[in-house]
Amino acid sequence: MKVDRADFVSCPPFTLLSPFFATRVTHMRSIAFVMSLAIFVPLTGCENGGKRFMFGPSAAPPSTAKLQSSEDLVDYLNANAANMQSLRCVNIEGVIQGYGFKGRMMAMKPRNFLMTASVMGNTIVDLGSNDNEFWFWSSKAPEPHQFYCSYKDFESGKVSHFPFPFQPDWIMESFGMGPYGPSSKYTVEADGRTGVKLVERTRTPQGVAVRKVIVMSRNQEYSPAPQVRAHQLLDDATGKEICSAQIQETKNIRGVVVPVRVEFRIPDQNMTLKLTFNGMTLNELKADSDLSVFQRHEMPGVSSIDLARGPARGTAR
């Protein structure tokens, strides 16, 4: 069945969020939080495919053996990515600071992404991406413009101010869609006696040195237990956590593991978001019929601002 964007964006009411969105500061924090969680959702790991031999049995005692190599871990993640072309979830239940909302999302390789959040049947967040550009909007922002930017302008450095601490391309990578190579850009570290960290050092759009960390179990896990335990974004200089996603429960869909319960954290803002994914579907979107969903639309009564050419040279408050 062909996916229609209007059907995707419109959601039935869930719970009243008015108290949560009471202040302008909280509005902007909520937008940053939703954008931050987008780089982590959903966090996947292959259960029946890939190189399972690198993980010991889950019943084994805590491992003291040599850590897996970055090559093996990246191969494992890429094996999962090869089995995932698209994801769709039209029934996300979210709770942030005690208040609930409804969400929907879709993703299709290589850069197609759409995520919305709604309260009382009204869309309050719309963010997305396609091969050419990315965009974000929230009705709860003090200045609810629709901000957008082409990947060409973004990658050439024309955006001097970007309100989120990650690259838009990180979204698809953290979606489990990869690719994750080359393995040479990673180092491997122990995470206690039962975990292993795959660590990449890189920089945010603001030039801050950060570490992207994928935390995995050193032993073989089976759903509902997660093989990939968490994704973290850390300040490289201090090791302080900028944001993270903790996978609490997973589900196996035809050999590909997807999360059904995830908790997202931004410590500096003292914010925690819990998401439950109901009815996640795999590889049902079709490039020849569903690509039109991943298009930015002009919004009535909302001004559109190009981050590379807009007011104050792309400054987004």
Tell me the mean pLDDT in the region 251-268: 86
Q: Is the peptide bond before 144 cis (omega within 30 degrees of 0)?
A: no
Domain that holds residue 284: 5-313
Please report the pLDDT score of residue 157 as a whole number: 81
Query: Could you tell me the two tokens for 13?
Result: 């009411």
Which CATH number covers residue 43?
2.50.20.10
Provide the whole-model pTM: 0.77
Residue 188's pLDDT band (cuts 50, 70, 90): very high
Please report the pLDDT score of residue 133 as a whole number: 94
Tell me the mean pLDDT in the region 151-170: 74
Lowest mean pLDDT across 46-50, 155-159, 257-261, 286-290 = 46-50
Domain count, the chain: 1
Tell me the mean pLDDT in the region 172-199: 86
When the pLDDT of each residue in the chain is averaged and rounded to a whole number, the result is 79
Please report the pLDDT score of residue 63 as a whole number: 56
Tell me the mean pLDDT in the region 34-41: 50
d(CA 28, CA 302): 17
Specify whether the CB–CB gap between 93 and 276 falls below 8 A: yes
Of the two residues 101 and 55, the one the predictor is more confident about is 101
Please report the pLDDT score of residue 209 as a whole number: 94
**pLDDT above 90 for 156:** no
**SS3 at position 70:** helix
d(CA 56, CA 66): 12
d(CA 201, CA 209): 7
